[in-house]
Structure 1
Amino acid sequence: MDLLLPNFDVNQPTWFYLSLLLIVAVYFRFMRVFSLRNLDLALLLSASPGLLFVAAESDVTQTLGHVWLFVVACTFLVRMLVDPLLGRRPYLGQNLNTHGLAFLCFSVFAFLMTQAITSSLPRTTEVTIERAEKLVSRTATDPSEDAAQQVASGPATAVLATIALIFEDFGPPFLAILAHAAVISGLWFVGRNLFGDKSIGVAMATLYLLLPCTAYNVGEFNHVLPAALITWAFVAFRKPIVSGVLLGLACGTLVFPLFLLPIWAAFYGRKGAPKFVMALTGVAVVLLFSLALTSIDSESFFQKTIGTINVPLAVLSQSEFSSGFWKEANYVSPYRWPVMALYFIMVTLMTLFPGRRNVEVLLAQSAAAVIGTQLWYTQQGGVYLLWYVPLLLMVIFRPRLPHLQFTQDLDDEELSVSKSTVRSAHNASSTQPSRRLQLFR
C-alpha cells in the first residue's frame, strides 16, 4: 500500500478487528440475538483467529491454529449437514440498505485489489506462473516437483495463467482481480436469479469481501478460481452442459472439486446427467490436448500428464509437505485414514440418498463435500477457507428453494422466482409451524 497510501499499513490483526466491527454493524441482528443468522456470523468470524495463529512464528501457536481451524471445519460441516433439515427460513434483511451495501462492496473491492497489486506474490501463485511458463516454453514438467507446486494448481489453472505472461508483472494481480470479481458477480447473480432478491446478492458479495480470510489470501488466485467456477455453476445449474464445463475446469484447477461431481450428477438424474458427464469429458479432452500442444515429444507429454495426476496423488503420499493438522502423520496414519473413510462414506450417502433433489439441498451438500476435504487434507488442511466460503454464504443467505429443481421440460422463465414470491415464502415459513428441526424462533 506504500505506493498509493505512504506509511499506511493494515496488518492482519488490525484487518480482523476492523472487519469484525463492520460485519457486526451491517449483518448482526440486534433485535433477534438468538437467531440462525447470528450463529452463522459467529462461525464465519471464528475461523479468523485460527488463521492469525497459523501465521505466527511460534510452532506452538501454529499448532494451536491448525487445531483451531480443524474444529471450525468440523463445526461448519455439521452446520451444512443440518441445513436441509431447517424448515424455517425467515427473511432477515441487513442493517444497511442496498445502495449502502453496494457502495461498501465497491469500496472494499478497490481496497483489496490495491493490496493484491502492491503486495508480494504468494508462493503458490509464483509456482503457478512458473508452471504456465513451462507450458508456453514447452518445457517438460518434472513429476518429482515439490509439494507446493503440486498443490498450487492443476492443468486448467496453468493454462489460464498463461494470460498472466502477457501482462508480465501485472499479470498475477490481474488474474487475482478477475477471480475475486468472478466470485462477487456470481454471488450477485445467485441472489438475483436463484434467490429472487438482488439485495441478497449484494449482501453476500459484500460479506465475502469483508471476511478476513479474503484479505489474508487476496493474491492467491489459484485458490479463488475454483470457488468462482463452482459459484457460476450454480448460476447456470439449469443447463447441465454449462455447469459441467465450469465444474470440469474447477476440477482441472485443484483436486477438491472432484468430490462434487457425483453429487451434481445425482442432482441432474437420468435426464441431465448424460449431458453433464459429456461436458466433463469434453473439458478433460481439451486440457489433455493443451498439454499435448505444449509438449515437445511424447515423453514430455507423459511427464506433464503424470505431474497432473500427482496433484491428487500428492494428498495421499507419505512425504512431509508443510505444517498442518496432520503434519506428524503419514498416509498410513491410524488417525487420518478413518477420517478419510468417513468422508467418502458421507459423499456416497449424499449421492445415493439425497432426500430431495433441489438446489437448497445441492448447496448444502456441495459445501459439506468441500469442507470435509479440509479434515483430511495434508497440505495445510483447514487453511483454505476460500475454497468454500462462497458456498457457505449461499447456504447462509438462501431462502426456501424447494421449487428450484432440474426439470428438462421447463424453461428459465418458468423456473425463475420473483422477489415477492421469495418473501412470501419467507413469511409463510416463519408463521406456519414446521415439523422439521427448528433451532430458533
Structure 2
Amino acid sequence: MSELLFQYERVNPTSWAYLSSLLTIALFFKFNRLFCFRNLDLVLLILLAPGLLCIEQSLRRQVGESVALIGYVWLLAVSLLLLVRMLYDTSMVRRPLLEANLSPGGLSFLTASLLAFLTANVLTGRPDESDLKAVQRAKHLANREASEVEQNTLDTHGPGFSLLLTLPHVSTRALVADRGEVSDALRDDTRRNVVTAQVMAIVCQLAVVAGLLLIAQRHFGNLHLGLAAATLYLLMPYTALWTGNVTHALPAALLVWAVYFYRSPALSGLLIGLACGAIYYPFALLPLWGSFYWGRGFWRFAGGVAATLAVLVATLVFTSTDAAMFFARLQQMFGVRLPPMIGLSGVWAYWNGWYRLPIMLAFLGLSGSFALWPSQKNLATLLSGTAALMLGVQFWHAHSGGLAIGWYLPLALLTVFRPNLEDRVAAAVVHRGMWDRAAAA
C-alpha cells in the first residue's frame, strides 16, 4: 500500500482484528438492548477472528502446526454456532428494525473508504508460491494439453470448474508484512495470470457490495440496512486477508446476485447453475431453491440451472484434446468420485478422513430436508437457508477446513440485518410463466 499512499504503514492482522472488532461494536451493537439477537450475531461474527489469525500465522510459517489445529477447531466451533443461528432464523417472525448507530452518510463514506483500501491491497498483493503452479496449468489448458498439475487438481483443490482453478490467489496477507522479493517464477505468463486474478477478485468484491446494497434497497425497502451489511462485510478480518481469493469471491458474488434476481426464476437459475459449475458445492442449494419456486417458477428455475451447466460442459468440449481429457474435466467439475480419506488439507490434515462420512451424510440430510421444511418458504428462508447450507459445507470440505467464509458471509449478514420478509413468497412476487399457466389450466 505504500506504493499508493505516502509513508503508509501496514496494519498487522492482529491489530486489524482488534480495530475492526471495536468498530463493529461501536457501529452496530445495540447498547440499549443488550440481550437481543443483533448483539449475539455480532459476537459470533467477531469470534471468527481468533481462529482466522491462528491459521493465517500458520500459513506464513510463523507458528507451529498445533496453533493451526487450534485455529481450525476454533473456526469450526464458531461456525457450528452460526449454523444453529441461521437454522433458527426461519422461526423468527418478529423482526424489530435495528439500524446502525451511524447515519447513512457516515456509513456510505466508511464503505467507500474500506472498499478503496481493499482494492489497493489486491492491486499491490502478490500470488502465493503454491499458487504459481496454476500458471503452468493455464499454459497447458491454453494449448489444450494435459499436465501433471491438471491430473492432480481434483486432489489438491476439490471439485470445481477447471478454468476457474487456473487462477492464482492474490495474497492480500502481504498487506500486513513485508512483501519480500518476488520469486523468479513470476514471469510474463505469471504476470498475465495474476492480473486476471486481480481483476476478477476486485470485480467480484464490487459485485458482492453492490448486491448487498441493491437487495436492501429493492427487497428490504431500506438502503440503510444494505449499507450496514456492506460496511460490516468490509470490516471483517476475513475480508481483509482473503480479498484476493477468487474461488471464495466468485461464488459469493453469484449467490448474492441470485438472491437479488429471486423474482426472476430463470435468472436466479442461471446464477445458481454458474455457481454450481464453478465450485460444485452450491448443488446442495437446489432442493431449497427448487422448493421455493415449486408453487410458481420451478420449471424456469430448473431450465436456467440446466442451461448454464450445459454451456459450461460445452466449454469443456472445446478446450479438451480427446475424450479422456474431457471426461477427466467433467469429473473435476461435478466431483464424480468417492470421498477421499487421505491427502486432505485444512482441519482434515489433522483428523481421520473417515470422520467426514457421517458429517457428509448429515449435510445431505439437511440439504434434502429443505425441500420439505419449512412448508412455506419466503425470501427470509432463502437467505438463512442458503447461508446455513454453505456453512454446512465448511465442516466436510476437504481442502479448507472452514476457511471459505466468503461463501456464506454476505448471505449471513443479510440475514442478520433483514426486516420481516414473511410476505415475500414466490406466489406473490413471481409472475406467471408459460409453464405455470399450463399447469394451472
Task: Calculate the TM-score normalised by the size of structure 2.
Answer: 0.85
Aligned counterpart, 2:436: none
- The residue correspondences of 1:292-441 to structure 2 (distance < 5 A) are 292-310=317-335, 313=337, 316-325=339-348, 327-330=350-353, 333=354, 335-407=355-427
Take 2:360 and 2:49, find their aligned partners in 1: how far apart are those partners?
25
Query: Counterparts of 1:190 and 1:338 in 2: how far apart (Å)?
Result: 36
Q: For the structure 1 residues 410 and 112, does the alpha-carbon distance in structure 2 shift closer, same or farther, using more than 3 Å as the test?
A: closer
For 2:33, the equivalent position in structure 1 comes to 32
* Worse-matched range after superposition: 268-277 or 104-113: 268-277
Q: Please tell me the residue identity of whatever aligns with 2:346.
A: S
Q: Indicate yes or no: 2:242 matched with 1:241.
A: no
Change (3 A) 1:154 1:186: same
Letter in 2 for 1:228: A
In structure 2, relative to structure 1, the CA distance for the partners of 1:296 and 1:377 (3 Å cut) is closer
Alpha-carbon distance between aligned partners in 2 of 1:270 and 1:41, rounded to the nearest angstrom: 35
SS in 2 for 1:99: helix
Letter in 1 for 2:212: L
Give the aligned residue type for 2:10.
D
Structure 1 112/359 Cα, relative in aligned 2: closer, same or farther at 3 Å? same
Mapped contact 2:167–2:196 kept (Cα < 8 A) = no
Call closer, same or farther: CA 1:36–1:239 in 2, change over 3 Å. Answer: same
Whether the aligned pair in 2 keeps the contact of 1:131 and 1:158 (CA below 8 Å) is no
Which amino acid in the other structure matches residue 3 of structure 1?
E
Q: Tell me, in whole angstroms, the C-alpha distance in 1 between the residues paired with 2:89 and 2:133.
A: 38
CA apart distance, 1:270: 4.8
User: 2:172 aligns to what?
Assistant: none
CA distance in 2, matches of 1:371, 1:299: 34
Q: Which moved more, 1:197-206 or 1:342-351?
A: 342-351
SS of residue in 2 equivalent to 1:271:
coil
Residue 61 in structure 1 maps to residue 67 in structure 2: yes
TM-score of the superposition, structure 1-length normalised? Answer: 0.85
Q: Is the 8 A contact 2:38 2:416 kept in 1?
A: yes
Aligned CA distance change for structure 1 residues 94 and 37 (closer, same or farther; 3 Å): same
Q: Is the 8 A contact 1:141 1:307 kept in 2?
A: no
Q: Is 2:159–2:334's contact at 8 Å kept on the other side of the alignment? A: no
What is the deviation of 1:126?
Answer: 4.7
Summarize deviations over 1:86-107 as a string: whole Å, max 9, x none. Answer: 2221111111111111110010
C-alpha distance in structure 1 between counterparts of 2:316 and 2:154, whole Å: 21
Aligned to 1:425: none
Q: Is the 8 Å Cα contact of residues 188 and 198 (structure 1) preserved in structure 2?
A: yes
Match of 1:224 in 2: 249
| 3-state DSSP of counterpart to 1:382 | coil
1:186-206, CA deviations, whole angstroms, 9 ceiling, x for partnerless residues? Answer: 111110111011111111111
Shift of 1:51: 0.7
Going from structure 1 to structure 2, the CA distance change for 1:195 and 1:160 (only over 3 Å counts) comes to: farther
8 Å CA contact 1:135, 1:291 repeated in 2: no
TM-superposed CA distance for 1:235, in Å, is: 0.3
Partner deviation per Cα, 1:98-137 (whole Å, 9 max, x = no partner): 1111110010011111111111224686565655444332
Deviates more, 1:358-367 or 1:1-10: 1-10
The answer as to whether partners of 1:156 and 1:287 remain within 8 angstroms in 2 is: no
Match of 2:435 in 1: none
Distance 1:99 1:396 in 2: 21
The letter for the 2-side match of 1:358 is N
CA distance in 1, matches of 2:225, 2:231: 10
Q: How does 1:89-104 map to 2 (within 5 A)?
A: 89-104=95-110
Distance in 1 between residues matched to 2:152 and 2:113, nearest whole Å: 40
2:226 matched to which residue of 1?
Answer: 201
Q: Which amino acid aligns with 2:198?
A: P
Deviation at 1:141, TM superposition (A): 5.5
1:214 match: 239
Is contact 2:248–2:406 with CA below 8 Å preserved after alignment? yes
Cα 1:7–1:134 shift into 2, 3 Å = same
The C-alpha deviation readout for 1:256-289, integer Å capped at 9, x for no partner, is 2110011101110053111111111111111111
Select 1:145's aligned residue among 152, 155, 180. Answer: 152
Aligned residues: 405
CA distance in 2, matches of 1:401, 1:229: 22
Change (3 A) 1:293 1:248: same
- Relative distance call for 1:188 and 1:146 in structure 2 (3 A) is same
Q: Is the 8 A contact 2:266 2:304 kept in 1?
A: yes
Q: Within the alignment, does 1:179 sit opposite 2:204 as a pair?
A: yes
In structure 2, the partner of 1:4 is 4
Contact 2:331/2:337 (CA < 8 Å) preserved in 1? no
- Give the conservation status (yes or no) of the 8 Å contact 1:156–1:252: no
The whole-number CA distance in structure 2 between the counterparts of 1:343 and 1:299 is 32
Structure 1 distance, partners of 2:428, 2:105, is 37
In structure 1, C-alpha distance between the alignment counterparts of 2:387 and 2:147, rounded to whole Å: 33
What SS class does the counterpart of residue 367 from structure 2 fall into?
A: helix
RMSD (CA atoms): 2.5
Structure 2 distance, partners of 1:160, 1:326, is 24
Deviation at 1:16, TM superposition (A): 0.6
How far 1:302 sits from its partner (Å)? 2.9
Paired letter, 1:320: G
One-letter code aligned to 2:270: V
Could you tell me which amino acid in structure 2 is paired with residue 357 of structure 1? K
8 Å CA contact retained: 1:70, 1:325: no
Structure-2 residue corresponding to 1:49 = 50
